[in-house]
Amino acid sequence: MKIAPSILSADFANLARDVQIVEKGGADYLHIDIMDGQFVPNITFGPGMVAALRPVTKLVLDCHLMVTEPERFVTQFAQAGADILTLHVESTPHIHRALQLVKAAGIKASVVLNPGTPLEQIKPVLPLVDQVLVMTVNPGFGGQKFLPAMLGKVKRLDQLRQTNDYHFEIEVDGGVSDQTVQSCAQAGADVFVAGSYVYGAADPAKQIQTLRNLAAV
Ligand code: DX5
Ligand code: ZN
């Protein structure tokens, strides 16, 4: 099981400090939300931010690209030091080629689906990927309400990897908190992204530990 704090809810003016707080607090991944203002109605950071954070932390840099035609940026993010690149199936007509590019860059490839996207859409790429991200809110903003109906997708993915020879981990992102993390773990999720739950509290380390304890089912 892995806990992945999202820096979307960190203090951007003190990012290095906030990254070190969750690293010391026992996080496994650092989740970096890249938004282009087109695929989602918000703008955040680019490969320059990943490159700037790389020397600051040993955490796995889990980069979630909410970007139209993300294949245009795979090389840049890989060179910046990303460990995992997560691409939306809705963001390109060539998701298979885009994921192949990620693998060819020597890093982990991950595919993600929006709440409105059926699981069937990613079935052809499941043999390729190291991780599948199931969005449990609509992407674009932190602090939204968890969508419990998405747990069905997590369960079906878990069954699919058991009946096939798939090796991907299942990540959930959006509205993950002490109220929802257990249901995600029970459905089969392995990686838990949490932004506002971790950074919205006075003691992020305690929040990480609470999530870890509740997810250990
Ligand atoms: C939403 C992002 C999430 C976001 C989650 O588009 O993908 O990673 O940071 O925030 P919370 O945990 O507050 O829902
Ligand atoms: Zn995310």
pTM of the model: 0.98
Name the domain count of the chain: 1
- Structural tokens at position 160: 């699919």
Measured distance CA(2)–CA(25) in Å, rounded: 13
**What is the DSSP code (8-state) at residue 11?**
-
Which residue range is the domain that position 25 belongs to?
A: 2-215
Q: Are 180 and 193 in contact (CB under 8 A)?
A: no
Say what the pLDDT of residue 137 is.
98
Query: What is the interface pTM, i.e. ipTM, of the complex?
Result: 0.99
| Gap from CA of 56 to ligand 1 centroid (Å) | 22
Among 173, 179, 199, which is best to mutate for testing ligand 1, by the most ligand atoms less than 8 A from CB?
173
pLDDT given at position 90: 98
Give the model confidence (pLDDT) of 148-157 as tens digits: 999 999 999 9
18, 36, 130, 173: the active-site residue: 173
Measured in Å, residue 58 CA sits from the centre of ligand 1 at: 22
- Does residue 75 contact residue 100 with C-beta atoms inside 8 Å? no
Q: Cα of 145 to ligand 1 centre, how many Å?
A: 10
- Give the tens place of pLDDT for each residue, 49-102: 999 999 999 999 999 999 999 999 999 999 999 999 999 999 999 999 999 999
Ligand 1 pocket residues where CB is under 6 Å = 6, 8-9, 31, 33, 64, 137, 139-140, 142-144, 173-176, 193-197
173 is catalytic: yes
Residue 22: which CATH number? 3.20.20.70
CA distances from 64 to 44, 134, 214 (A): 11, 12, 24
User: Nearest C-alpha to atom 6 of ligand 1 is from which residue?
Assistant: 139
pLDDT recorded at residue 217: 72
Which ligand has the minimum distance to the alpha carbon of residue 141? 1
Q: Which helix (H) or strand (E) holds 124?
A: none
3-state secondary structure of 167: coil
Mean pLDDT value of segment 205-216: 98
77 exposure class (CB count in 10 Å sphere: 0-12, 13-18, 19+): buried
Catalytic, out of 18, 28, 33, 62: 33
Note the pLDDT tens digit of each residue in 179-197: 999 999 999 999 999 999 9
C-alpha of residue 40 to centroid of ligand 2, in Å: 12
Pocket test for ligand 1, best of 7, 8, 191 (most atoms within 8 A of CB): 8
Name the one residue in this structure whose structure tokens are 């506002």.
196
Q: Give me the half-sphere count of Cα atoms (radius 13 Å) on the Cβ side of residue 94.
A: 9
Give me the half-sphere count of Cα atoms (radius 13 Å) on the Cβ side of residue 143. Answer: 6
If one residue of 30, 33, 44 were mutated to test the ligand 1 pocket, choosing by the most ligand atoms within 8 A of its CB, it would be 33
Nearest ligand to residue 142 Cα: 1
